[in-house]
Amino acid sequence: MSSAPAPAATIVIFGGSGDLARRKLVPALFELHCQGQLAPETAIVGFARSVDSDEAWRADLRSALAEFGQTAHGEEEWLAFAGRLFHARGDLKQTQSFVDLKARIEAIEAERGLAGNRLFYLAIPPSGIGDAAARLGEAGLVHPAEGPGPWSRLVVEKPFGHDLASARELNEKVHASFRERQIFRIDHYLGKETTQNLLVFRLGNGIFEPLWNRRYVDHVQITVAETLGVEGRGKFYEESGIFRDIVENHMLQLLCLVAMEPPVAFEANVVRDEKVKVLRSIRPQTPEEILRDTVRGQYAAGSIDGRPVPGYRQEPNVAPASGRETYAAWKLQIENWRWAGVPFYLRAGKRLPKRVTEIAITFKTPPIALFRRAGVLVQEPNVLVLRIQPDEGIALRIGAKQPGPTMRVETVKMDFKYSEHFGEKTPDAYERLLLDALHGDPTLFARRDEVEAAWELVTAVLDVWRENPARDLPNYEAGTWGPEGAMELLARDGRRWRRP
């Protein structure tokens, strides 16, 4: 990605007054504006049913910025940004609204001297995505993918489908109006600084990559733990569950970056080819193996930071006997030369005691217990922890001799903290991803085959789960590290989960 301002364009946000636009997209665009990353002509159009005028939309976004913006801003900056904001009232279900939108965009383009580049951002519920993409094409809003003229691009939020069949169907629908190179499927975990650093850490340093394989690595744990519950999204969670919400996308993306082969170039398709290879090398599991190697959990009432919180079944819009999972653990095997025999353990959970996303690589212990005679019976393995958030950083746990006349080994930590070295403020993932989409760089976005390969794996598990409903839910108290079964999953292999 270049550091020059992005090419001038009209950014159209569908769901312009929705939660994502207010919380993430507009604050990110404002940051980019303040950093001089947006071309002066660039306009931002909010398409929504509920917005009446430019002024009303601007006022709403101003309060959104006050609530969710990263930095405080002055009146002058706000006024300059507000000058880029336009509303377009419309209904996603009505073809006429798209015809009107076209006229509105063309008028804004003419007024601001824009050449016609368009970035369509679908920040709308998943059920509306296919139709909205199709209507954009039908209304003639999309420029051809080839040729020297202005470009059109589509940014799509997750979840991209509900299972393999619906993901394929959605891809077909979206492809009716957009070519693959025009489609930017967002997974905001890829925009996180520390996720990107994973590749720099592995491949920009000479010392780690030689160890990054089955000869030296015992196993890998990937954790996405949240203290949050379903936060008013009971209806969505009832349909989705954490396996679709977090494992299918964020976790499999992290897994790909940890496990993939070094790409021959840092280019979108080369990187994405390597990620797809990882997904395709994951060993398919039989239904019996799925039941053995996956764990479902659901939180019961408990307490987080000393504060009582309700159980999942007591959340609004959740069925009183819901069988939906808010915790999932999964043991995977990647069957390639690098990783054969190294288990990857994934776990994601809501209402766990701590918010933490990390990747922990546990190395094999030395082949000889040299200090056994001196009474050191168990030597802890070296663990490399890549902390994605919060408290971003990298830590290596190593054994060191305790000072003194006897041979005692203690595990100590070499710790690199982003905030200590680079300062507190890290750009939000959406800033980076919006900028990349404007620059036309899809490296950090999911490609069609990648999404379908991920759904293929996930759908196999979901099918077995559906056939075999969990009978023990809820099975963990809010504020604990998840169900017993998850502990057993590792205990069976003589291992245990890290307590981050």
Q: What is the C-alpha separation between 121 and 108, in angstroms, rounded?
A: 17
Nearest CB to ligand BG6, comparing residues 242 and 342? 242
- Name the residue with the smallest CB distance to ligand BG6: 245
Q: What is the C-alpha separation between 345 and 215, in angstroms, rounded?
A: 18
CA 194 to chain centre: 12
Q: In whole angstroms, how close is the CB of 187 to ligand BG6 at the nearest point?
A: 8
Contact 316, 232 (CB under 8 A): yes
Nearest CB to ligand BG6, comparing residues 243 and 481? 243
Q: In whole angstroms, how close is the CB of 248 to ligand BG6 at the nearest point?
A: 10
Amino acid at 138: E
**Beta strands 409-417 and 393-401, pairing class:** antiparallel
Q: In whole angstroms, how close is the CB of 127 to ligand BG6 at the nearest point?
A: 16
Nearest CB to ligand BG6, comparing residues 226 and 452? 226
Q: In whole angstroms, how close is the CB of 357 to ligand BG6 at the nearest point?
A: 6
Nearest CB to ligand BG6, comparing residues 190 and 395? 190
Nearest CB to ligand BG6, comparing residues 200 and 228? 228
| Backbone torsions φ then ψ of 339, nearest 5 degrees | -115, 0
Q: In whole angstroms, how close is the CB of 340 to ligand BG6 at the nearest point?
A: 31
Q: In whole angstroms, how close is the CB of 337 to ligand BG6 at the nearest point?
A: 32
Residue closest to 459 by CA, chosen among 233, 159, 181: 159
User: What's the chain look like in SS3?
Assistant: CCCCCCCCCEEEEECCCCHHHHHHHHHHHHHHHHCCCCCCCCEEEEEECCCCCHHHHHHHHHHHHHHHCCCCCCHHHHHHHHCCEEEEECCCCCHHHHHHHHHHHHHHHHHHCCCCCEEEEECCCHHHHHHHHHHHHHCCCCCCCCCCCCCEEEEECCCCCCCHHHHHHHHHHHHCCCCHHHEEECCHHHHCHHHHHHHHHHHCCCCCHHHCCCCCEEEEEEEEECCCCCCCCHHHHHHHHHHHHHHHHHHHHHHHHHHCCCCCCCCHHHHHHHHHHHHHHECCCCHHHHHHHEEEECEECEEECCEEECCHHHCCCCCCCCCCCCEEEEEEEECCCCCCCCEEEEEEECCCCCCEEEEEEEECCCCCCCCCCCCCCCCCCCEEEEEEECCCEEEEEEEEECCCCCCCEEEEEEEEEHHHHHCCCCCCHHHHHHHHHHHCCCCCCECHHHHHHHHHHHHHHHHHHHHCCCCCCCCEECCCCCCHHHHHHHHCCCCCCCCC
Active site residue 250: yes
Nearest CB to ligand BG6, comparing residues 253 and 382? 253
Q: In whole angstroms, how close is the CB of 121 to ligand BG6 at the nearest point?
A: 16
| Backbone torsions φ then ψ of 183, nearest 5 degrees | -105, 125
Tokens of 288: 């019996």
Which residue ranges make up the site for ligand BG6 (CB under 6 A)? 226, 228, 245-246, 357
Q: In whole angstroms, how close is the CB of 433 to ligand BG6 at the nearest point?
A: 12
Question: Exactly one of 162, 250, 421, 439 is catalytic; which is it?
Answer: 250
Nearest CB to ligand BG6, comparing residues 64 and 186? 186
Nearest CB to ligand BG6, comparing residues 171 and 227? 227
Q: In whole angstroms, how close is the CB of 344 to ligand BG6 at the nearest point?
A: 20
Nearest CB to ligand BG6, comparing residues 212 and 312? 312
Catalytic residue set: 250
